[in-house]
Structure 1
Amino acid sequence: MPPDRWIGGLILALMLWAMPGSGSAAEPPAPSGVLSKSSLTAEDLLAALGPPFEAILDRVDPDLALISRDGRSFVLADLWRLSRSHEGGDVREDGWARMAHALISTHLGQRFWVYPTSDAPDRYGRIRAHILFETPEGNSLWINAALLKQGLARAFPLDLPPDITRALYEAEDSARADHRTLWSAPAFAPMKAHDLMNDGSIGGGDFAIVTGRVFQATKVGGTLYLNFTADWRQDFTIRLNWPVRRQWPVAERTAAFWRGKELEVRGVMEPMNGLMITPISPAQIKILASPLADEEQDHGSKKSPAQMAPGILETKAGSKTD
């Protein structure tokens, strides 16, 4: 066996040994990132996406596209994957991306179930989906959540049922709490909104996770702008366009609802009056249940009981009219 494959196999074996719930249970274990409802399995959660179809894994491309034996291509939905070196990732990120590739490649030749999140393939002809593998031991492995739990990807949920969104975030939160893999690197840590005014290291096109307390919220036409300091021309901004706002209950579409809220938002940075993220799904924003660091008190907001309200992810379907 070539030395590089031997080393890669050793690394992967150590990863799998460290994965929670990797024992040979008699019944399929709850998937990585499943809700705290212990009775829920991956199949229970993913059933909300509709009936799956089967395929056999033939190969895994460097961009983590899964190719089935019949030639179909699948990409893991609702994740922001790590970059290889030729895509702009540094040596460390490239190594973690290779680990994610190796983890999926352990299932070559195995049957898997595909839960598509869209009826149409993307512009590259790939089907975006959640993938459930049947392991040789007869267990089920939700590979999307497994990558998050190992710190080998970041959650980027779009139009999903709330329970699946919550499960993905819980899987990521586990890796973040343990500083696992990518979360051990300061470069991947969530950034504070008020620090971005003077941070030249983040540019347009970069994926980022940002936390902060909303200082002012302004509605312009159908768009709501959330700013984190008094200087909206230079600070970090969240832009909530109407197609996203309308998915929340009426009370949560107003500027007053968002003032003083402590948020975590994720997405692609845009250079516009400072830096801006424009979510394309409500799931990209979480209302934090606990206060942020006291240093943010200097940026103009006061605590209110509303700041302790449940996060947006727990919002039930509401009226679609404004």
Structure 2
Amino acid sequence: MGIRWRLALGLVLLLCWAGKALGAEGAPDCALSEPEQGTVVQIVDGETITLADGSTVRLVGAKAPRPPSGTAEVDWSFSQETRDALEALTKGKTVSLRFGGSRTDRHGYLMAQVFVEGGPSPLWVQGELVSEGLARVYSLSDNAACTDALLEREEEARTARRGLWASGFYRVRDAVAVDRMRRLTGTYQIVEGGVLEVADVQDWIFLNFDEDWRKDFTVVIDKSDAKAFAEAGLDLPSLEGKPIRVRGWMEWRYGPSITATHPEQIEVLEEDGTAKSPPSP
């Protein structure tokens, strides 16, 4: 057995032990639907499973690692380790699906929080993967339940440099390191830095991180989405001068940018880089 597979086996055993030890603390404190059960028969990838009834389920909120462009999934150890861990946690087991937003995506896949049944209490699969550094947190404007609970787990895993957080490929990007971001276009990224200016221009709000808006990293917000930020207690103009962390898909508009459609994409940080408690609406 090679070194890579010994490490993967050790990771699987660790996750299985963690699942048994987690107990009642495994359940997130967030609003979800009543559980709907099924049996996992196939692991499609590190964030997708198939049930016995033919349903395909995406583990909403936990984005599995993806290899660089041109690299096969099976050759990228991070994505393979996440897939192996998901298989060890769920394959052949009864799971409960609970929904906190839209039930399906554009492909017809179910978008659920997934819990493994059979132990003292249900084991939250997304929480396990994020805690072990095997997935990053993401959210959707119509499906953001449990994001705060996942972000707490992600921050702990990142601080401990678990899993993918030990790799520079998945590091949190510095908002002022613009030259390094062009090659990241089209990839999911987390960027951190101090907001220099909040600009209100026609139908858009721009969070700029440097003096030259034509070249700097920018967070772009459609004004039609601004109400959702305000309702969540996140006053966009007040972000000027504050450090934030934003996550989303990297684009290139003059300079690098991420479009934020909902408040869960932005974390307001303390001076030491840790996230502040979520604002009260």
- AA in 1 matched with 2:280: K
> Which of 212, 232, 256 is matched with 1:275 structurally?
256
Partner of 1:289: 270
Tell me which protein shows more strand as a share of its residues: 2
Q: For 1:147 and 1:190, how far apart are their aligned partners in 2? A: 18
Identity %: 23
Within 2, Cα distance between the matches of 1:271 and 1:161? 26
1:239 to 2:234 alignment: no
C-alpha contact 1:16 1:22 (8 A) present in aligned 2: no
In the alignment, structure 1 residue 174 sits paired with structure 2 residue 170: no
* Contact 2:102–2:142 (8 Å) recurs in 1: no
Q: Give the alignment partner of residue 32 of structure 2, picking from 41, 49, 55.
A: 49
Larger Rg: 1
1:140 to 122, 134, 141: 122
Give the distance between the partners of 1:252 and 1:124, measured in 2 at CA: 32
CA distance in 2, matches of 1:172, 1:186: 16
1: CA distance, partners of 2:135 / 2:12? 16
1:145 CA drift (Å): 1.2
Matched to 1:113, the amino acid is: S
Structure 1 residues 186, 63: closer, same or farther in 2, change over 3 A?
Answer: closer
SS of corresponding position for 1:22: helix
1:316 maps to a residue whose letter is: S
Q: Provide the residue aligned with 1:190 in structure 2.
A: 172
Give the aligned length: 279
Q: Taking structure 1 as reference, are residues 200 and 212 closer, same or farther at Cα in structure 2, changes over 3 Å only?
A: closer
The answer to which of 179-188 and 119-128 deviates more is 119-128
- Cα distance in 1, alignment partners of residues 226 and 255 from structure 2: 22
Are 2:23 and 1:28 aligned?
Answer: yes
Partner-residue secondary structure (3-state), 1:167: helix
Q: Secondary structure at the match of 1:55?
A: strand
Structure 1 residues 34-113: aligned runs within 5 Å:
41-42=27-28, 45-46=29-30, 48-62=31-45, 64-84=47-67, 88-89=70-71, 94-106=76-88, 107-113=90-96
How far off its partner does 1:127 sit? 0.5
Alignment partner, residue 198 of structure 2? 217
- Structure 1 runs of 4+ with >6 Å offset: 90-93, 160-163
State the AA in 2 paired with 1:214: V
Residue-by-residue CA offset, 1:239-283 (whole Å, 9 max, x unaligned):
12224321133784453x121010111111111021111112211
C-alpha distance 200-143 of structure 1, shift in aligned 2 (>3 A): closer
Q: Given the two structures, how large is their TM-score scaled by the length of structure 1? A: 0.76
Contiguous gaps of at least 5 residues in structure 2: none
Structure 2 SS opposite 1:168: helix
Match of 1:164 in 2: 146
Q: Is 1:258 aligned to 2:239, yes or no? A: yes
Give 1:178 shift. Answer: 1.0
In structure 2, what is the equivalent of residue 35 of structure 1?
A: none
Deviation per CA, 1:57-86: give whole Å up to 9, x if none. Answer: 11111364211111111011022221257x
Provide the residue aligned with 1:316 in structure 2.
280
Structure 1 residues 220 and 164 mapped into 2: Cα distance closer, same or farther (>3 Å)? same
The Cα offsets for residues 7-64 of structure 1, whole Å up to 9 and x where unpaired, read as 74x5444114445972755x82412xxxxxxxxx34xx35x12112000111111364
